[in-house]
Structure 1
Amino acid sequence: MATNRFLSYLESRKNLTGSACGVAGLALTFTGLAGAYWPAVVAGLYGAGALIAPPERPAAPHFPDPAEQLGVLREDFGTLQAYLDSLELPPAAAGKLTELRQLYAALLDPGWVTDALAGEPEAVHALSRAIRQDVPECVDTYVRTRWWTRLGPGTEPPERHLERQLAVLFNEADALTAGLREAEARRQRTHTHYLEERERS
């Protein structure tokens, strides 16, 4: 540990700047300008150089870009798929959930779709929240509520809430898809405009 710190200091800006100033002090010594106090001159110049050197700039932290996030999200979606496959849900909710899963799978399918998705950080965040939080919470809440409903019949069936929740999530995913489609259409229109303007000039 101490050795690493020492080696890091040797490569630091402070040491390099101080060494350069110290070499200048040696040059003064060889020309006779430093006189008998040359050790103090060399040490003083080294210290001054080390003090005026700019501080070390720590490396900026690396955060995954949207493309990297999608790779991890794809794995999380596989985990969610396995969880959902282990459950028995009422037919209406299961059907809506199947549609939702197909939509998520299409959005996460590697290729130009995910390239377009990676260019929209807000869309990546929304999809991540749905897969990692919203869908598991909807289904888990249904499973737990269904157990309590068996003890107190006559209450509102929990599957109705599940169906409504999945419908909202599907609408959100559909709107997200429409937004990506519109972004691509906008890019196409922009490129057409650029080519037409270039033709006129």
Structure 2
Amino acid sequence: MSYFTSTRHLVGVGLALLGLLAHFLGWLGDWWLPIVAGLYLLGVLVTPRTRVDAQLAQEADVGELSAELRRLQGTLRGQKVPPAIQAQTRHIAEQLQVLLPRLSKLEAQGDPNAFTVRQLVTDYLPGTFKNYLNIPSELRSRSDARLGKTPDALVSEQLDLLSSTLDKVSADSIRGDTTAMLANGGFLKDKFGKPDLEL
């Protein structure tokens, strides 16, 4: 429920209502429904997260975070994003979906990777697409003189960086479990590996 009180959701609803008004005035034609849905998603993506929204993001549970990932992927499908970039995003979402069930444990342990995982879902990943989606789709494959590369190439590089970060988080998480298993194995060996000497 915290998401539905956030500024991003309210802005999205406001844009969607404007779309509905345009539909009732007869301006949108047969494509009114996807246009209204697209306006809502656009409002969610372009609205800066307020301090209150950031706090709500830190309180979101695993189900809400998973839903946020699905919403982002749905937005990209409706915004003419190249299949290769969608595939990169899908891979990152899959990496996150593996880590999300472990989030509560990581947070309880005070693991800094927990913050990284949460921020990737609520800020870093959607933030990567925020300005990119503001660029008309037909211009995203054109080279920018200031950057020396296309917006498509730039966002692809940023997604690679996020994916590499998640690889490290996953490796740290597995390493922590392995260390704990080894420690437990040592304890069991010390406790039960040798019979007590009989007097």
TM-score range, shorter chain: 0.5 to 0.7
Work out the CA distance in 2 between the residues paired with 1:98 and 1:148: 20
CA offsets, 1:71-97, max 9 Å, x none? 525403413421331223212211111
Pick from 85, 99, 102 the counterpart of residue 91 of structure 2: 99
After TM superposition, list the pairs within 5 Å mapping 1:1-201 onto structure 2.
72-87=61-76, 88-109=80-101, 113-114=102-103, 116-118=105-107, 119-144=109-134, 146-147=135-136, 150=139, 154-155=143-144, 156-198=149-191, 199-200=193-194
Size of the aligned set, in residue pairs, is: 129
What corresponds to 2:19 in structure 1? none
Q: Secondary structure at the match of 2:61?
A: helix
The RMSD of aligned alpha carbons is 2.8
Q: 1:154/1:104 Cα in 2 relative to 1: closer, same or farther (>3 Å)?
A: closer
Work out the CA distance in 1 between the residues paired with 2:70 and 2:93: 8
* TM-score w.r.t. length of structure 1: 0.55
What corresponds to 1:35 in structure 2? none
Work out the CA distance in 1 between the residues paired with 2:178 and 2:143: 51
Work out the CA distance in 1 between the residues paired with 2:59 and 2:91: 20
Conservation of the 8 A alpha-carbon contact between 2:95 and 2:166: yes
Structure 2: which amino acid aligns with 1:126?
T
Conservation of the 8 A alpha-carbon contact between 2:85 and 2:156: yes
Q: CA deviation at 1:117?
A: 3.1
Structure 2: which amino acid aligns with 1:97?
T
Work out the CA distance in 1 between the residues paired with 2:143 and 2:179: 52
Q: Secondary structure at the match of 2:136?
A: helix
Q: CA deviation at 1:149?
A: 7.6
Work out the CA distance in 2 between the residues paired with 1:115 and 1:72: 9
Give unmatched runs, 5+ long, in structure 1: 1-68
Structure 1: which amino acid aligns with 2:136?
W
Give the percent of matched residue pairs that are identical in Structure 1 and Structure 2.
15
Q: 1:71/1:143 Cα in 2 relative to 1: closer, same or farther (>3 Å)?
A: closer
Larger Rg: 1
Work out the CA distance in 1 between the residues paired with 2:110 and 2:84: 32
Q: Secondary structure at the match of 2:81?
A: coil
Give unmatched runs, 5+ long, in structure 2: 1-57
Q: CA deviation at 1:123?
A: 1.6
Work out the CA distance in 1 between the residues paired with 2:153 and 2:184: 47
What corresponds to 1:4 in structure 2? none
